[in-house]
Amino acid sequence: MSASQTKLLENAFQEFSKASGSIISYYNVLESQIKQLRKEIEEKNGELSRAKEYLYTILNSLPVGVVVVDKESILFSNTRAEQLGPEGFIGNLNNGTHCVGELKNSKGHYRWRKEELTNGFEGKEVIVFEDITEIEKMKERLERDERLRAMGEMAARISHEIKNPLGSMELFLSMLQNGRLKKREKQYVDHVLFGVKTIDRIINNILSYTRPKTLALKPEKPSRVVEDILDFMNISMKSREIEVHLFNLYDGLCYFDPDLMKLVMMNFISNAMEAINKGGVITIEIKEKEQYALIIVRDSGAGMSEEVRKNIFNPFFTTKDKGVGLGLFIVYNIIQAHHGYIEVESAEGAGSSFFVYIPKDRT
Ligand SMILES: Nc1ncnc2c1ncn2[C@@H]1O[C@H](COP(=O)(O)OP(=O)(O)O)[C@@H](O)[C@H]1O
Ligand SMILES: [Mg+2]
């Protein structure tokens, strides 16, 4: 190798080691940048999964059901949606064209709203639904209270107006009865007098139960009243082959007027017996629900249509040939005076259940 060639080679080596020196230093810079980036990505991932967790926590603590669907299946459902068990009806909503609606199934009454997702999530829909069973029940109760208050007032006013002339009729009829009458005439007068007395009895009933009255409240076990009435009605239930089951899950006291409460229970049980007619079961359950003692009277009788159910507390509403239609009106007024309330579940052919809520304490 000539001297000039050796020089060239040396230069080349020097250049090479300079270049590799700078490559190494670039590599070190790159490596530390990559490390930094990796750290940032990890941090971002952490933030992302915390944000996701945060979002899910919010979604799962919502009192409404949230479900995300595509055309085929459910992609996400929050805890509330799972509790409400939407599978059955989400399928129906998924295919429909409506965006809002209401739905009733055996579990309750729901209001729902459906919206297409945007922002790159096209093809997916979010369905939000809430359970409005309690709200609907309360709405129905408020409407019923308002209607019955007006009806009660009117019934009381009319009854009051009828009472005076009726009193005179009774007086004159008694005078006639004591006068010199032929046997036939006396019979006629007896019939009229009987009718007048019946009207008077009905009117007294209306007046005594629709006027705000003072209750003789006493601390008493609800089961006592129920047991007394069951004893009292035992024979007529046996003769109709009706079985009675009493489940007492509340042994505490409750403030109520025992005589009026007996009248309430008697009405429920005689209605249940009439609905069963012959051979059936009446179940009475007493338990606690929040600040109320709850008495449930269920029967295996004929049940009632929605139309009948909505009217049963109206004065003079009856579906029976010999019914008067005042029993449940009186019951309603007594429970109302106790600051309680009544709910009814029934279906034709499937029996009826009356839920009577009475506050445990009177403040
Ligand atoms: N347990 C029951 N099962 C089915 N229907 C009932 C029951 N209780 C009440 N009803 C309905 O409510 C109506 C009103 O009852 P109520 O006020 O006691 O009057 P009445 O017994 O004189 O008809 C009844 O005629 C009946 O249609
Ligand atoms: Mg009745």
Each residue's pLDDT tens digit, 317-335: 999 999 989 999 999 999 9
Distance 318 CA to ligand 1 centre (A): 6
Q: Structural domain boundaries of the chain?
A: 1-61, 62-131, 137-210, 218-359
Cβ neighbours, 10 Å, residue 100:
10
**Ligand 2: centre distance to CA 77 (Å):** 47
Instruction: Tell which atom from ligand 1 comes closest to the C-alpha of 299.
Output: 1
Q: Which atom of ligand 1 is nearest to the CA of 319?
A: 25
- What are phi and psi for residue 289, nearest 5 degrees? -140, 110
Fold of 62-131: Beta-Lactamase (3.30.450)
- Give the atom of ligand 1 at the shortest distance from the alpha carbon of 312: 12
Look at residue 303 in the predicted model and tell me its pLDDT: 96
Residue range 137-210 in CATH 1.25.40: no
Quote the CA–CA distance of 53 and 46 in Å, as a whole number.
10
How would you label 172-204 residue by residue, b for 16+ Cβ within 10 Å and e otherwise? Answer: ebeebeeeeeeeeeeeebeeebeebeebbebbe
Tell me how crowded residue 284 is: count the other CB atoms within 10 A of its CB.
25
Position 86 scores a pLDDT of 54
In the chain, the largest separation of any two C-alpha atoms, in whole Å, equals 171
CATH of the domain spanning 218-359, picked from 3.40.50.510, 3.30.565.10, 3.40.50.1820, 3.10.150.10: 3.30.565.10
Q: Is the dihedral of CA 263, 265, 267, 269 positive or negative?
A: negative
Given this model, what pLDDT does residue 308 score? Answer: 95
Q: Kindly state if the Cβ of 131 falls inside 6 Å of ligand 1.
A: no
Answer yes or no: is the C-beta of 78 below 6 A from any ligand 1 atom. no
Residues of the chain predicted below pLDDT 70? 86-97, 211-213, 363
Q: Which two tokens stand for residue 124?
A: 């997916």
In this prediction the pTM is: 0.75
SS3 219: strand
Check: CB of residue 200 under 8 Å from CB of residue 166: yes
Handedness of CA 113, 114, 119, 124 (dihedral sign): positive
Pocket of ligand 1, candidates 209, 270, 271: which has the most ligand atoms within 8 Å of its Cβ, to mutate? Answer: 271
φ, ψ dihedrals at 307, nearest 5°: -60, -45
Question: Cβ of 313: how many Cβ atoms within 10 Å?
Answer: 24
* 51: amino acid identity, one letter: A
Evaluate: CB of 317 within 6 angstroms of ligand 1.
yes
* Bridging pattern class, strands 280-289 and 242-248: parallel
Residue 181 pLDDT: 83
